Every structure is written in structure tokens, then in C-alpha cells.
Amino acid sequence: MKIERVLNNNAVISTREEQEVIVIGRGIAFNKRVEDDINEKEIEKIFILENEGTSKKLKILFGDMPIEYMDISEKIIKYAEKKLDKKLNDSIYIHLTDHIQFAIERYKKNMHIKNGLLLETKHLYKEEYDIGLEALNMICEHFGIILPEDEAGFIALHIVNAELNEEMPVLKNITKVMQEILTIVKYHFKLEINENSLIFYRFLTHLKFFAQRLVKGNHYNSSTGDDLYDVIRMKYPDAYECTKKIKKFIDASYTYELTQEEMIFLTIHIERVIKNNNR
């Protein structure tokens, strides 16, 4: 690959397999010019510029952003991908790096912003929140500053955004729907749910993607028919009654009608959570 444009000493634009890319590496463009070869041993990350909006943001980010913010962001993202065992959307490099820079600048100016979703984040996105706490430790080691707990929540939400490939306003609505459904389940069964179990974690994962479909107006449909619906309804009557309450609430609060398939899966997950809770 050859350098087509230098963004800074650590980032250049090139082409790979007829596709425009941003190539990242410490000192990769130092004393280099356009048309010079890129030393592949110095490459740390390659961003494929498929989306015009993301492409423009990345070029601005890597053109203006000090390398220390890019370094800590890369470190946090790698840690998150390892802990979650999944690849995060490349958009997180824009949003997280930008957020960390402004969080540190706010800290230096003694400007503290409260995270209105902190409690919900700790409750609904525990893995991501734990990663956010570790990110604060990394930032402390790197910059010598202690950011408030609210920032762990913000970082966690950026990670969830990258998992779902959504923007923050959509994620806020997803979080709201998840919290509302959990509240209905708790009130219906009049109990405190064991939130540390694997079964509850799977329920949260199901709720996360269900809420995403609801917020975006996409329904889940499969080949399951009336027979399975009737079997689940009869086999788990208490869980099904709870699902009916959820359906009624969603019908009244959102322009979304649950399909039979969605009611089946909600009922099964609720039954598992409650059964596990009673052990």
C-alpha cells in the first residue's frame, strides 16, 4: 500500500483492494510523503471507509486527535472485545475517542456532567459497565487523573452502542423499554429477581435485541405456528399472563404489536428466570 494522504504522523489514507482505507500506526507517516510505501510492520489498525459519513468523521478525528487519546481508546476497545468475545463496530473509535478527550478536558476545567442513565446502565449492562470501570483505571494510569463513576457509565453505553450498531438516542430508548419490561415482570410476580444468574443475563440479552426491534419498528417472524404458541401458553400459564401484561403495555405505549413468536420467546425466558429464582 502507498500513502495517498497524510492525516498526521500516526494516520494516513491509502487504498487496499480498490477500497479507501485509513491506516493507523505510531509514527507510520513520520518523514513520509504521498506515494511513499507504507511499512506493513508499523500498521496497528486499518479502517475500511465504506460509509461516507463515518469516513468523513474518521478523517477529521485522526487528523486532529492527539495520539495519546487514540492510544487509550484503542486499549479500551481491545480490552472490551476480549472480555465480550465479540468484534465491536468501528464507529466506537470515533465516539469513544471523542468522548474520552472531552471527558478529560471537562475534568481539567472542573466541569462534572451527571449520567442520567447510570443506574440503568449498571443494572442492564453489567459486563459493559465493568469494562467502563476498568477503562477508568486505564485512563488513570495513562493520564494520572481519576474520572467519576458517571464516566464508566458513559463508556459502557458507547460499548453497547458499538455492539448494537446504534446511536445514543436509540440506545436510550432501548434501555427505557428494557427497564419497563423488567418492572412489569417484577410487579407481576411480586419478587426480587436474582440478577447475578446466567439465566437472567440471557433474558437481558433477549430483551436488548427485542427492545431494539421495537424501537426501530422491526418484528421478529419465524416459521413457528399456532400449535407451539398454544403449547407454550398452556405449559407456562403464569409466565404467559405476564407476557400478556407486557403486550398490553407495549400496545398502549408504543406503535408496536407483539407477534406470536415474540410472545413465545418472552414467555419462555420469563418462565426460566422465575423458575431459577425460586430454587
**170 found inside a domain:** no
Q: Are residues 150 and 116 in the same domain?
A: yes
Full-model pTM? 0.82
Please give the C-alpha separations between residue 45 and each of 14, 75, 142, in angstroms, as whole numbers.
13, 12, 20
What pLDDT is recorded for position 269?
94
Together in a domain, 88 and 147:
yes
**Do 215 and 130 reside in the same domain of the chain?**
no
Does 12 have pLDDT greater than 80?
yes
57 belongs to a structural domain: no
Q: In this structure, what C-alpha cell is assigned to residue 87?
A: 468484534
Q: How far apart are CA 135 and CA 131, in angstroms?
A: 6
Q: Quick check: is 260 in a domain? A: yes
Per-residue pLDDT, 221: 66
Q: Contact, 263 vs 206, CB < 8 A? A: no
pLDDT band at 184 (very low <50, low <70, confident <90, very high): very high
Q: Which pLDDT score, from 0 to 100, does residue 26 have?
A: 82
- Residue 120 has a pLDDT of 93
One domain for residues 245 and 271: yes
Residue 161 lies in a domain: yes
* Nine cell digits for residue 11: 494516520
Distance CA 156, CA 125 (A): 7
pLDDT at 51 over 90: no
Q: Is 118 within the bounds of a domain?
A: yes
Q: Which residue has the higher pLDDT, 40 or 125?
A: 125
CATH of the domain at 120: 1.10.1790.10
DSSP H helices in 28-116: 52-64, 67-84, 91-108
Domain range for 207: 175-277
Segment 201-229 shows an average pLDDT of 84
| Tally of domains in the chain | 3
Residues 39 and 90 both lie in one domain: no
Q: Render 150-194 in DSSP notation, one character per residue.
A: HHHHHHHHHHHHHHHT--HHHHHHHHHHHHHHHHHHHHHHTS---
Confirm whether 181 is domain-assigned.
yes
Q: Do residues 154 and 181 share a domain?
A: no
- At 18 the pLDDT is 81
Of 105, 138, 165, the last residue of a domain is 165
Same domain as 246, residue 179: yes
